[in-house]
Structure 1
């Protein structure tokens, strides 16, 4: 071997050692683990944060690989509804470390112990890991098997909770039979003139024909959707002063639901049925000290704006603090909030879940603000805030005057200047609207928002999503179903998908909180929502 060749080999050897040393000092080998046995090793430099995988990408990959079941040919067979007492959870990999994603599989069985051969069930999945709580992302293989993907948000004992909200049969009924139809809610209209008062029945109508009815059109806000009342005995249609929900209408409509549907598809055995915890697993600490020190900081999160893609985790709770993994957020002090809202007019438009924002905010800022069911107005050096309840309230015995109607399209059109923060959230009173009527209402709202953004392109507009709620009476499981609320959420996100409106999805935030789901969640939950909002509208 010549001297020159020896020098070249020596140089290459020393150089390779240097490169190896540099890599070992500045990088780690990260693995995105899954229970499907797929390992995707990636080199992650400590100075580079990890992107959270997108839910839709992972879902498409999983479904393409599939989970197969072998079925024997039968001359006759019986397939029952899901039975959580027969259903098993399984996990293929228990060597899990903090910061990794891992999966449980749910194989739904019927009461005979037979594997269900169809999907479409509506499931809630949450997990508690040493006091941290989060929601899992569900993948439906359409054959009775579901994969639930969780983030290992802490180390310690992990306890999953899988809840069958509705079986596929109930979902089909809600989607195809209940949601599309009109006449599921009525109001009582009060007509007053010359000290004479008369009442009649009113409803929202978009399709069909009618004869000799009082018609009330709101074309910019509702399009072809009209408010129709039976003509009162003597008074003219223009004497309609106020409306209130006809409390008896829900009960009357519920009687029309077939008995076999109620008894089978919405029975206690298949309605919010919780699987008994079958095992716990232990999450180990990460091999990466950055993950152990601050899990949120180890991820590369976008700023809070626009319609963000769904990822494998929206975040997790530690105590009363929500750690968002959707976008960059922080915990805001009262003084920081005051600076954030200074010189801005905060406009809140929605239902009572949006009114809660105003209630918690004025309390946080130690203000004495008059708050009514339909309206909040605060005008001070600290806060300039207005809350408007949307028209056609249902589900509460509250009478409101037509003169008090405030459609979002009218409010946006009449705003002067651009110094606003705007929140819109029409959802809690719309599960009893027909699907197409709600979609048309959102489409017109979108047009109004786009017109406003043409005038004020830099003014933040936030669309707050629906969230799961409580149900106390059987009709609420149908007319206020969490499945229908979930569908409103999907429609809302879809309609505004091509805008720069910030879609603030709070579904998982609410569903993983340590107390039960309620229409009006406790103040700490509202405060965490406000922190996400301020993280969007104000720089930090």
Structure 2
């Protein structure tokens, strides 16, 4: 035997060591895979007023429903989400975006959870800090408010992470502006306000969520992105089956893959037992699995710790004096940006360089839109714009496409003035009525079909249906839309693109768990960063709702929508019928 052959011979002792190593490795691998696939057999309760709505119109003989097995055990979404590969550039941007919106780190939840140790708005206070001239404030100054958070025993909190919002308002003047909240990570916060009108001003600070509730929302979005589920009917002749669908489905059954070939947007349904994946005919909301750990629901109590005002330790109302002639501008050192606008006399006045006009009648709106094609894509908060124009313009006639109510698509035409307005819902996930699969369109693909030009307006709004998913899914959607917007502006630079941000809303328990204001704020921050530097305009719905005195609503009331429409039309027509000058005392 040669030296080389001898070198290749393992002794029995060496062979045994290698065998043991391989056995341990295989056992570890099997154990890990078993943990990833482990599911509880008992399904969670499903509660939804819309559950079963897609089946009411089905009168097929042999109808079956395939129900997903859903586990309440921790299972990171990455283990059962299947996406197409990302480009290195997209992956890097995603990482940077996630880092930029990372919420302050806070102590882990106690086990069992003790509500007494969480932030209590009733025991928390805010204090107006003295002005630079000894308790006096002038138009052009900045007001700073110190907020001290305490728990239910009145003990000062030692960590940050609470979600607070603040506004300054005067309802008689129809005035309001949003405050910029800064977390000092020690239980105290600052709210900084720009003083923009003369007269009374009242500070309002609100706890939207204690940091413990945000930890729960983070956990739910990571471990249970399928807690809102969707369904589709598959049909062939007299046979129909209904299965559940989602962006991410746990691998308990074979899947139908409906990932969009152009954008890579993922969508899956459980495969029917007897029908092919090609037999899918519709999409609908399925239901909601409310699965909280012990006592976690106590973190989402209206009137206790969910959207509750914090009281002032002193006066909450003060007087803003006129701006002095020699007054120098002094800005706070703890905020880097100011508000995008404010209300005065119930009219929105932009501070981002946009000159806002008022369009108070059909004639003014028609003159602005004459010769225009306006395409609206997004959720129901964008559909509000479409509905507003159809109501405000008697000559704008909607063509009956026999579309499902609230789902669309819609199209309206003013033939005499050559005005065309369309509205279409964005692609899945969408929590609406039954929609034909032929009408499920992704915005990016729709934008690629728009010719564009100086007479074309595109309005976008995507946010409200992503509240149960990890932020990576929303980022992927925006990246695809942004690429399509860039392509549109490259081929037709004169196209006007306007994007509506998300807004605050009423938050009963189910809504707070599936569409929280915290998640909407995170979406807004991502959206603003991603479209920064592009030739697009924003309608800051977040600030326009928060600064207004009317209650928060997913679908803001008419006075707020009217102001949003004025901003939109002002972007369309720089020669509006009435230019709003800032009040002389606010200059």
TM-score normalised per structure 2:
0.69
CA–CA separation in structure 2 for the residues paired with 1:180 and 1:348: 33
Confirm or deny that 1:531 pairs with 2:566: yes
Match of 1:141 in 2: 184
Q: C-alpha deviations, 1:340-389, integer Å up to 9, x for none?
A: 32222100001111011011112222235337422221122332111111
Aligned to 1:246: 286
Partner of 2:271: 231
Quote how far apart the aligned CAs of 1:265 are: 6.2
Contact kept in structure 2, 1:353 and 1:519, CA below 8 Å = yes
The answer to whether residue 469 in structure 2 is matched with residue 441 in structure 1 is no
- Cα displacement (A) at 1:511: 1.2
| 8 A Cα contact 1:180 1:436, kept in partner | no
Match of 2:235 in 1: 192
- In structure 1, the residue matched to 2:397 is 369
Is the 8 Å Cα contact of residues 167 and 265 (structure 1) preserved in structure 2? no
Aligned to 1:100: 141
Match of 1:214 in 2: 256
Q: Distance in 1 between matches of 2:293 and 2:223?
A: 17
Match of 2:167 in 1: 126
| C-alpha displacement of 1:246 | 0.6
Cα distance per residue 1:116-156 (max 9 Å; x no partner): 11111101112223532222111111111111112333333
Match status 1:263 vs 2:304: no
Distance (whole Å) between structure 2 residues aligned to residue 264 and residue 527 of structure 1: 35
- Residues 391 and 126 (structure 1 numbering): CA distance in 2 closer, same or farther, change over 3 Å? same
Give 1:498 deviation, angstroms: 4.0
SS in 1 for 2:567: helix
Say whether the 8 Å CA contact 1:425–1:464 is kept in structure 2: yes
Query: What does residue 126 of structure 2 align with?
Result: 89
The question of 1:178 aligning with 2:224 is answered no
Matched, 1:427 2:463: yes
1:152 to 2:195 alignment: yes
Q: Structure 1 210/345 Cα, relative in aligned 2: closer, same or farther at 3 Å?
A: farther
Q: Which ranges of structure 2 fall in alignment gaps of 5 or more residues?
A: 1-114, 330-334, 576-587
**d(CA) in 2 for partners of 1:434 and 1:350?**
19
2:489 match: secondary structure: helix
- Which residue is equivalent to 1:461? 497
Q: In the aligned structure 1, how far is the partner of 2:276 from the partner of 2:482? A: 34
Residues 135-534 of structure 1 aligned to structure 2 (within 5 Å): 135-179=178-222, 181-205=224-248, 212-221=254-263, 223=264, 225-247=265-287, 250=288, 252=289, 254=290, 256-264=291-299, 268-277=303-312, 278-288=314-324, 311-328=337-354, 329-333=356-360, 334-367=362-395, 369-370=397-398, 372-373=405-406, 374-380=408-414, 381-382=416-417, 383-392=419-428, 394-396=430-432, 398-418=433-453, 419-472=455-508, 474-534=509-569
- For 1:516, what is the secondary structure of its paired residue? coil
Partners of 1:266 and 1:488 lie apart in 2 by: 24
Distance 2:569 2:199 in 1: 33
Partner of 1:493, secondary structure, is helix
- Superposition deviation, residue 99 in structure 1: 3.3
Aligned 8 A contact 1:184 1:433 in 2: no
Separation of aligned partners in 2, 1:290 and 1:325 = 22
CA drift of 1:525 comes to: 1.1
- Cα RMSD between the aligned structures? 2.7
Q: Work out the CA distance in 1 between the residues paired with 2:428 and 2:281.
A: 13
Measured in 2, the distance between the counterparts of 1:270 and 1:457 equals 48
Task: Work out whether residues 201 and 317 of structure 2, in 8 Å CA contact, stay in contact via their aligned partners in 1.
Answer: yes
Q: 1:79 to 1:197 in 2, by over 3 A?
A: closer
Residue 160 of structure 2 aligns to a residue whose secondary structure is: coil
Aligned to 1:51: none
Q: Is the 8 A contact 1:191 1:199 kept in 2?
A: yes
Q: Counterparts of 2:316 and 2:303 in 1: how far apart (Å)?
A: 26
Q: Secondary structure at the match of 1:186?
A: strand
CA contact (8 A) 2:505 2:554 kept: yes
CA contact (8 A) 2:429 2:466 kept: no
- Report if the CA contact (8 A) 2:451-2:492 is conserved: no
Given that 2:232 and 2:245 are in contact with CA atoms closer than 8 Å, whether structure 1 keeps it comes out as yes
Range moving further from structure 2, 160-169 or 313-322? 313-322
Residue 89 of structure 1 aligns to a residue whose secondary structure is strand
Q: CA deviation at 1:406?
A: 2.2
Quickly say closer, same or farther: Cα 1:465–1:290, change in 2 above 3 A: farther
In the alignment, is the contact (CA less than 8 A) between 2:244 and 2:269 conserved in 1?
Answer: yes
The verdict on how the C-alpha distance between 1:408 and 1:116 changes in structure 2, with shifts beyond 3 A counting, is same
Measure how far apart 1:165 and its partner are: 0.5
Aligned equivalent of 1:72: none
Give the aligned length: 438
Kindly indicate whether the alpha-carbon contact (under 8 Å) linking 1:190 and 1:197 is maintained by their aligned counterparts in 2.
Answer: yes
Residues 481-525 of structure 1: CA distance to partner in whole angstroms, max 9, x if unpaired?
A: 100111111121222224222233221111122210111111221
Structure 1 residues 282 and 498: alpha-carbon distance in aligned structure 2, compared to 1, 3 A threshold: closer
5+ residue gaps, structure 1? 1-77, 292-297, 300-308
Q: 1:180 to 1:289 in 2, by over 3 A?
A: farther
Correspondence for 2:97: none
Contact 2:151 2:157 in 1 (8 A): yes
2:296 aligned counterpart, secondary structure? helix
Distance in 2 separating the partners of 1:462 and 1:287: 34
User: Deviation at 1:281?
Assistant: 3.2
* TM-score, scaled to structure 1: 0.75
**1:440–1:287: structure 2 CA closer, same or farther, 3 Å change rule?**
closer
